[in-house]
Amino acid sequence: MEIRPILSALMRNKTGALLIAAQIALTFAITINAAYVIRDRLAIAARPSGVDDEQRVLAVRYTMNSPQNIDAMAQRDLRSLQAVPGVESVAITNQVPLGGGGWSGSFAVQNRRESPSVNAGMVFDDGHLLPTLGVKLVEGRYFRPDEILVIDPNTSRDNPPTALVTRGLAKTLFPNEASVLGKTVYLGNTADSPALQIIGVVDHIETPWAQTSERHLNSVIFPQRLLQPYNYYVVRLRADAAPDTRQQILDTLARNEPDRVTTRGLESIADLRAKRYRGEYAVAGLLLAVTVFLLIVTASGIVGMASLWVNLRRKQIGVRRALGATRADIVRYFITENLMISGTGVVAGLVAAQLLNALLLRQMSLPPLPWGGLAFGVVALLLLGVGSVLGPAMRASRLSPALATRSI
């Protein structure tokens, strides 16, 4: 093999080679970490909401000045929304998955101070919410109509005696139990905290905030309608709903109560998802752009340096060709040389990537780098190096020995 002569030639003129190696090392470190953050953010943005068909489920939030009879208004709204053609079912609730704002509370297994409490979203179900959202019940039973409490927050602090929990919360509260049916949880961990009996478990219902921590898995569903002057109506469209159904829903609401203001119009869960994860997509997009530019810059650096070397070595190439080296030999020389430089760079890059990752981990919550991704990065950067050097190497191989050695 020709490694020894190439190496000794490199050692006589180290600057350029070191520059390229350093550049590859830095590119590797940044690209790997960027790719990793991109993957992390896209994975967060793709988490399920628990809603089976996010396009078909719409939510509308309204605000109004304390109406005379909130309950009568809600009943009338629900009836007339149900009558809109194209609407499959309707529900009233206090918060929707990915919706932004909502209720949360602390839940504990025992009503004593020592019992650690877990933060979870509080969803109020009027008896129609789960089928309207399309959230799956995986264990136990759904609320009976007679279990639904109607609560006026201005006069009452009652809580229903039963509740559904998400699978995630069940696992957090009772890590060692096969089934949580019939168990009691407390809303708070003091002696007077209200008790709730778990009658069923739902697969998942995303919290309104969709936190990046494990908390986003925790929700408790209460069988109650809260009489507050701002609530969400959730509407499930039929698969064959006409395109103007959305407008009809808004018109119906406006007709029922002209003074009411719908805060953000009618949004599907898919719209809410896009809005909630806009930041994640922005970070991923920006990092992707940085990565692409980095690779272009590095490739152009390698091309530039290799072209310089080809020019500097015209005579040597000519002599080698005159002494019987084939074109393939010349190309092989440059590729081997490049692989040696890139290899050094990538090895240094592996170390730099870990250092950068450690720095990022200290600044924010990210799991450590996976080895599979590192291996892929190594191969990709070596290929980038070879690909960049190929052009100048081919040009070098086409040098005519006679011309290249003429000035000797």
Partner 1 sequence: MFGYYVRLGLRQLRRSPVLTALVIVTLAVGVAASMSTLTVLYMMSSDPIPQKSDRILTLTLDNAPADSDGGEEYRPRGLSWIDVRALREGGFGLRRSGLYGTGGIVEPQKEGVKNFVGDGLAVDRDFFAMMDAQFAQGAAWSADDDRNEARVVVISDTMAEKLYGRENSIGRTLKFNGNELRVVGVLHHWKMLPRFYLLENGGRGGGPGLADQEDLFIPLSTAIATEQDINGNVSCQADAEPGFKGLIASECTFLHYWVELPEGSDRRQWREYLAGYVAQQQQRGRLKRPEPVRDYDVLDWLSYVGVVDDDTRLQTLLAFGFLTVCLVNTVGLLLAKFTARAGEIGVRRALGASRAQIFAQYLIEAGTLGLVGSVLGVALAYLMLHIMATQSPDLEALARMDTLMLVTSVLLSVAAAVIAGLLPTWRATQVVPALQLKSQ
Positions in the binding site for partner 1 (CB under 8 A): 15-16, 19-20, 22-23, 26-27, 29-30, 33-34, 37, 63-66, 100-102, 113, 116-117, 153-157, 188-190, 192, 208-209, 230, 259, 261, 263, 278-279, 282-283, 286-287, 290, 293-294, 297-298, 300-301, 304-305, 307-308, 311-312, 356, 359-360, 363-364
Q: Shortest distance, CB of residue 105 to partner 1, whole angstroms?
A: 9
Q: Shortest distance, CB of residue 101 to partner 1, whole angstroms?
A: 4
Q: Shortest distance, CB of residue 229 to partner 1, whole angstroms?
A: 8
| Residue 265 exposed, middle or buried by CB count within 10 Å (0-12, 13-18, 19+) | exposed
DSSP secondary structure code for residue 152 in this structure: -
Question: What are the distances in angstroms from CA 166 to CA 17, 173, 272?
Answer: 58, 11, 21
Q: Shortest distance, CB of residue 147 to partner 1, whole angstroms?
A: 21
Q: Which residues contact 235 (CB under 8 A, 6 or more apart)?
A: 57, 58, 59, 60, 81, 87, 89, 90, 132, 249, 266
Give the residues across from 201 on adjacent strands: 139, 165
| SS3 call for 225 | strand
Q: How far is Cα 404 from Cα 323, in angstroms, rounded to an integer?
A: 13
* 8 vs 66 by CB, closer to partner 1: 66
* 182 vs 258 by CB, closer to partner 1: 258
* 238 vs 281 by CB, closer to partner 1: 281
* 37 vs 339 by CB, closer to partner 1: 37
* 103 vs 142 by CB, closer to partner 1: 103
Contact 272, 112 (CB under 8 A): no
* 282 vs 379 by CB, closer to partner 1: 282
Q: Shortest distance, CB of residue 333 to partner 1, whole angstroms?
A: 19
Q: Shortest distance, CB of residue 407 to partner 1, whole angstroms?
A: 8
Q: How far is Cα 94 from Cα 12, in angstroms, rounded to an integer?
A: 74
Q: Shortest distance, CB of residue 19 to partner 1, whole angstroms?
A: 5
In terms of Cα–Cα distance, which of 271, 221, 275 is closest to 58?
A: 271
Provide the CA 68 distance to its chain's centre, in angstroms.
44
* 355 vs 383 by CB, closer to partner 1: 355
Report residue 342: phi and psi, to 5°. Answer: -60, -40
